[in-house]
Amino acid sequence: MSRIAYVNGRYVPHRDGYVHIEDRGYQFADGCYEVVAISGDTFVDAGLHLKRLRRSLDALKIAFPMTDAALTVVMRELARRNMIREGFVYLQITRGVAPRDFAFPAKVKPSLVMTARTKTLIDPRLLSDGIKVITIPDIRWGRPDIKSVALLPNALGKEQAKQAGAVEAWQFDRDGNVTEGTSSNAWIVTKACEVVTRKANTDILNGVTRLGLLHVIAEAGLRFVERPFSVAEAKSAPEALQTSSTNFVLSVVRIDDTPIGDGKPGPVGQKLAKLYADYAASGAQDRT
């Protein structure tokens, strides 16, 4: 079966999915995106993704190209055409095509592209073994809360992690506090069994999985705190976790050269991974 993409109003074979060389996304990274997990018939927390997309577009002053309802129809149709049962849809909106000029063009139509891909969101090996992360300085711009396609620092960090045999790089700010992973949010579990993650202000992306997990934690009657934590605190925590739409909840068992806890996924992480997986599959997360 050949893959299908959606490009500016048309469903096209994936290999023919092109945008113009003067698209501002290509020249200025002038656009934003979302990655929405597909679990069976469910787009996991689609409402929260569309809300965040609107927020990113508003921050960049890019017009929303279609209603949420229309966007959802395209997402469903793309998942259907690509026969995705488990995976994700990627959607990207840029300011559009215009002669290269830094200031915004007067009249421009946003470009909207979508792709969909099959992917194992709950990887049994990653779940049972946990993952290794490295730590790197956060060198990104001042608004990582906007889900912008300007991801070069993130790509550099991920490559550095890969070279070090790790799955992710956790970034830290000037105070030595962890901001987030290059494509995930970072968490620790304290000795007092509190689940800790950084407050979502302009320093991090407010992950949709992060929000879903906070909901799951509250429902399960566990305690959580939104506060900064340092790399040193993370290394001495009994458990560490990360969340993202593409891997849900994973236990972090090594940070740089330091094993976390006994170097295996801990009980809180395993429980949360299971509870979140149930939540994602339930189709019950119609929260906006």
Active-site residue numbers? 147
Tell me how many residues contact ligand PDD (CB under 6 A): 15
Q: For residue 201, which of 173, 223, 224 has the smallest C-alpha distance?
A: 173
Closest to ligand PDD by CB, 207 or 266: 207
- The phi, psi pair for 9, rounded to 5°, reads 95, -5
**Which residue among 71, 116, 189, 208 contacts ligand PDD (CB under 6 A)?**
208
Q: Least distance in Å: CB of 209 to ligand PDD?
A: 3
Q: Is 36 an interacting residue with respect to ligand PDD (CB under 6 A)? A: no
Q: Mutual orientation of helices 267-282 and 208-219 as an angle, nearest 10°? A: 110
Q: Least distance in Å: CB of 128 to ligand PDD?
A: 22
Strands 239-244 and 223-226: unpaired
Cα(139)–Cα(154) distance, integer angstroms: 9
Given a contact cutoff of 8 angstroms between Cβ atoms, the answer to whether 204 and 141 are in contact is: no
Cα(149)–Cα(29) distance, integer angstroms: 6
Stretch that binds ligand PDD, among 93-101, 121-129, 202-210, 227-235 (CB under 6 A): 202-210
Closest to ligand PDD by CB, 26 or 104: 26
Closest to ligand PDD by CB, 111 or 243: 243
- The phi, psi pair for 31, rounded to 5°, reads 180, 180
Given a contact cutoff of 8 angstroms between Cβ atoms, the answer to whether 209 and 200 are in contact is: no
Given a contact cutoff of 8 angstroms between Cβ atoms, the answer to whether 252 and 131 are in contact is: yes
Tokens of 117: 């891909």
Q: Is 180 an interacting residue with respect to ligand PDD (CB under 6 A)? A: yes
Q: Least distance in Å: CB of 33 to ligand PDD?
A: 7
Closest to ligand PDD by CB, 57 or 97: 57
Closest to ligand PDD by CB, 30 or 180: 180
Q: Mutual orientation of helices 68-81 and 46-60 as an angle, nearest 10°? A: 120
Run of H or E including 56: helix 46-60
Q: Least distance in Å: CB of 210 to ligand PDD?
A: 6
* String marking each residue 86-125 x if it binds ligand PDD according to CB under 6 A: ----------------------------------------
Other Cβ atoms less than 10 A from the Cβ of 224: the count is 15
**Which residue among 95, 132, 158, 210 contacts ligand PDD (CB under 6 A)?**
210
Residue 187, helix vs strand vs coil: strand
**Which residue among 244, 251, 270, 285 contacts ligand PDD (CB under 6 A)?**
244
* String marking each residue 134-173 x if it binds ligand PDD according to CB under 6 A: --------------------x-------------------
Give residues in contact with ligand PDD (CB under 6 A): 35, 154, 180, 183-185, 205, 207-210, 243-246
